[in-house]
Amino acid sequence: MIADDFGDRLACYGDTIAVTPNLDRLAQRGTLFRNTFCQYHSCGPSRASLMSGRYPFETGYLSNKAGAYHEALPELTSLPRLFRENGYQTIRIGKIFHMSVPSGIGSAGADDVKAWDHAINNTGWDAKKENWSKATTWGKRGGFGVRIRYSAPDLPDSEFSDGQGVSDAIALLKANHPDKTGKPFFLAMGFYRPHPPMIAPKKHWDAITPKNIRLPKFPQDDRDDIPKINWHLHDPGFNFIPEKHGRAYTHAYYATIHYIDSLVGRLIETLEEQGLADNTVVVFTGDQGFMLGEHGHWHKSSMLEPSQRVPLIIVDPRKEQRGKQSLGLTGLIDVYPTLCDLAGIKPAHELSGVSLKARLENQEAPGKDYELIMGTPGGFTIRTERYHYSEWRGEDGKAVGAMLYDMEADPGQFNNRMKSPEHEDIIDKLRQLLETKLSTNRGSQANPTNQ
């Protein structure tokens, strides 16, 4: 299960606004990976990386407009296609590969059609422009998917695209039960929410307590030591929206999270009812993070941490250790090799991530030494256990801006240490680490035309 624009703002991650009982219970059945990062802070490149098992700089897929990577790079077998080729009955509902939201809801988007035995392009009330365009809106510029727009119509879950999608998923799951097909199944459920426009049924809005909502605080000069290139998106919907709309938009975001949580509950309940819960690996994640006013920024596409963090919950019912957290660094790049490892399937091409199987068996096992995250325009982040280093590169490959944060001393990222003499050594080390990573892993698949 992958939710669109879903950061790690869940109660089980310590969030005090979120109401996520079903995802919390799911975490208690498996392992919650506390420090997981996307490989790109935009939907298309993130999903191409997740589904190919390769970093964006290796594939060249660095834009939502890059198209379907599996058509340009047929040597990279997508994760679901690999399972299909290994005897699994594969099912897709909604957004797994990239598609535009809301305009693409109900379409296949950049789907890998060879990956699925069954594919449903679910749609509903919230996909119709005449419905979502009536929502409360602030700002006159920016695409429909990044404009401040929110509402909470008093309609049942089933009227919405995601609600319909879960009903479709349940029907297909029952129809393709392994007892009937003789095959194991691979079900991919792609939720459209909480991607803007921020719309969820009223009952989910009512589930969020307004007094718990606190907009982020930051110094007046907060942006002075952050490279201006980090704020390359100038539309009003990305910057310093009025408090009234900020509080309402935040409320709406958490309402959509509650909505997704309830739908996850329906799917897990179906697994239990069908006698499949004890023999099914379950993964829940998002494609990138989402900023709700941190540093005055809204939405995504920032190299700051809230735009890069995602939830990752993995349940393998065969594992004895459950309900624990793995604190080590993890990336979405690790999902592909993990599922192959758990299912005993050999990948068809070289993967760039690592299997998390050992950390499912022992949550105290160490994580990765660092994770690599990318973003527009020309941004790279190296995240170690303690430090968050980002730099932007121009067309000539030279750095045009950089920032370093000590995440132990400064988790809110308010003090850029790039000019700090005592951090010169760690800056040099992380710069060299980034250069080595890019030089070593840059493969023949790179396709600069998609940049």
Condensed to tens digits (0 to 9), the pLDDT of residues 76-122 reads: 999 999 999 999 999 999 999 999 999 999 999 999 999 999 999 99
- Give the sign of the dihedral formed by CA 71, CA 75, CA 78, CA 82: positive
Q: What is the pLDDT of residue 287?
A: 97
End residue of a domain, out of 370, 404, 422: 370
* Domain containing residue 240: 2-370
As a whole number of angstroms, the distance between CA 336 and CA 338 comes to 5
**Residues 270 and 333 placed together within one structural domain of the fold:** yes
Nearest to 90 by CA among 117, 57, 70: 117
Q: Which helix (H) or strand (E) holds 271?
A: helix 243-273
How buried is 71 (Cβ within 10 angstroms: 0-12 exposed, 13-18 middle, 19+ buried)?
exposed
Q: Which residues neighbour 337 within 8 Å (Cβ) at sequence distance 6 or greater?
A: 53, 347, 351, 353, 354, 355
Report DSSP letters for 6-42, one per residue. Answer: --S--GGGT-SS---HHHHHHHHHSEEEEEEE-SBSS
Please identify, among 370, 400, 422, the residue that sits at the C-terminal boundary of a domain.
370
CATH of the domain at 394: 3.30.1120.10
Q: What is the pLDDT of residues 324-353, one digit of tens each?
A: 999 999 999 999 999 999 999 999 999 999
CATH classification at residue 249 = 3.40.720.10
349 and 433 housed in the same domain? no
Q: Please choose, from the candidates 447, 449, 445, 448, the residue with its C-alpha nearest in 3D space to the C-alpha of residue 54.
A: 445
Co-location of 8 and 146 in the same domain? yes
431 HSE (CA, 13 A, CB side): 17
Residue pair 356/33 in contact (Cβ under 8 Å)? The answer is yes
pLDDT of residue 355: 98
**pLDDT score at 141:** 66
As averages over each run of 10 residues, the pLDDT of the chain (451 residues) reads: 98 98 98 98 96 95 86 94 98 96 94 97 96 89 78 97 98 97 97 96 98 95 96 89 96 98 98 97 98 96 97 96 95 98 98 97 95 95 98 92 98 98 98 92 42 33
Residues 174 and 162 in one domain: yes
**End position of a domain, from candidates 349, 370, 391:** 370
Distances (CA, A) of 177 to 38, 92, 117, 418: 32, 15, 14, 56
Backbone angles phi, psi at 405, to 5 degrees: -130, 135
Same domain, 361 and 379: no
Count of structural domains, the chain: 2
Same structural domain for residues 230 and 218? yes
Q: Biggest alpha carbon distance in the chain? A: 66
Q: Which 3 state secondary structure label does DSSP give 104?
A: coil
Cα–Cα distance for residue pair 437/39, rounded to 1 Å = 14
The pair of three-digit structure tokens given for residue 74, joined into one six-digit string: 């047929």
Q: Is 387 helix (H, G, I), strand (E, B) or coil?
A: strand
> Do 260 and 393 fall within a single domain?
no
State the residue for tokens 């909480």.
194
pLDDT of residue 448: 32
3-class secondary structure, 144: helix
For residue 158, the model assigns a pLDDT of 97
Asked whether residue 385 falls in the same domain as residue 396, the answer is yes
Nearest to 163 by CA among 135, 201, 129: 201
